[in-house]
Amino acid sequence: MNKLNYTASPSEGKPYTMIHHAYRVVKQEALWQKAYGNRNNDDPSFRDEYNEYCNRTKDLVATVPFAFNAMISGVASAGVCHYDVDEFAKQMMPGRVSADSESGQLFIYCHKRDRDYLIELLRVQFPGIKLSRVATEPSDPWGMSISQARELIGKFEDKYLPRSVMAD
C-alpha cells in the first residue's frame, strides 16, 4: 500500500503530487533540450510539443492548493553571496520558500502571501540588496530545480513509484 499517494495521476482525477511534478520537471527539461538546445534545429513541432507540455504543467499546478506562486529575484549587495541569502530565507521561513539562486542572481520562490514579508526580512538582514517581484504565477509549485527533481525521483522511485507514473 502506498501511504504517500505518490502514484496518483492527475489524468485520472487524482491529486497532483510533488513527485509527479518532479517527473514533469525532468521531462520538461528534456523537451526543452530537444526543441531549443540544438541551435540548428528548425523543426517547429518540437517547440509546439514543448509549449503544450508546459501549458499542461501549468494546468496541473493550478490544482495545487498551496503553491510557490511568487518569485523574488535580484542581486545581493557587494560582499554578500547569493547562496547566503538563500540559506537565510530558508532558515527564516522553513518549508515556505525554495531558493535556487545562481552566482549572478537571486531566485527565491514562495507563496504570494509570504512574498512582501520575506522581501522586508531580506532587506533588513542584507542592506543594499536589490530585489524585485518578478513572477506572479510561475509554473512550479514547489520551486523545484532540475537537480532537485532528479534527486527526489532517485530517493523515492524504487520504493514508492511504479514506472507508469511517467505516462502522464
User: In this predicted model, which residue has the larger pLDDT, 71 or 156?
Assistant: 71
Please report which helix (H) or strand (E) contains residue 109, including its range.
Answer: strand 106-110
pLDDT value of residue 95: 79
User: In this predicted model, which residue has the larger pLDDT, 147 or 134?
Assistant: 147
Q: With 60 as the cut, is the pLDDT of residue 168 above it?
A: no
pLDDT value of residue 44: 83
22-26, 45-49, 160-164: least confident range:
160-164
pLDDT value of residue 6: 37
pLDDT value of residue 7: 39
pLDDT value of residue 87: 92
Left, alpha or beta for 149 (phi > 0: left; psi -120 to 50: alpha)?
alpha
User: In this predicted model, which residue has the larger pLDDT, 152 or 62?
Assistant: 152
48-52, 66-70, 95-99: least confident range:
66-70
Helix axes 44-61, 18-32, angle to 10 degrees: 160
63 neighbors 73 (Cβ within 8 angstroms): no
154 neighbors 105 (Cβ within 8 angstroms): no
Q: State the Cα–Cα distance between residues 127 and 116, nearest whole angstrom.
A: 16
Query: Cα–Cα distances in Å, from 51 out to 26, 54, 159?
Result: 15, 5, 32
- pTM across the whole model: 0.57
User: In this predicted model, which residue has the larger pLDDT, 123 or 102?
Assistant: 123
Residue 99: count other Cβ atoms within 10 Å of its Cβ: 20
Residue 108: partners with Cβ closer than 8 Å, 6 or more residues away: 71, 72, 73, 85, 86, 89, 97, 98, 99, 100, 101, 118, 143
Q: State the Cα–Cα distance between residues 59 and 63, nearest whole angstrom.
A: 7
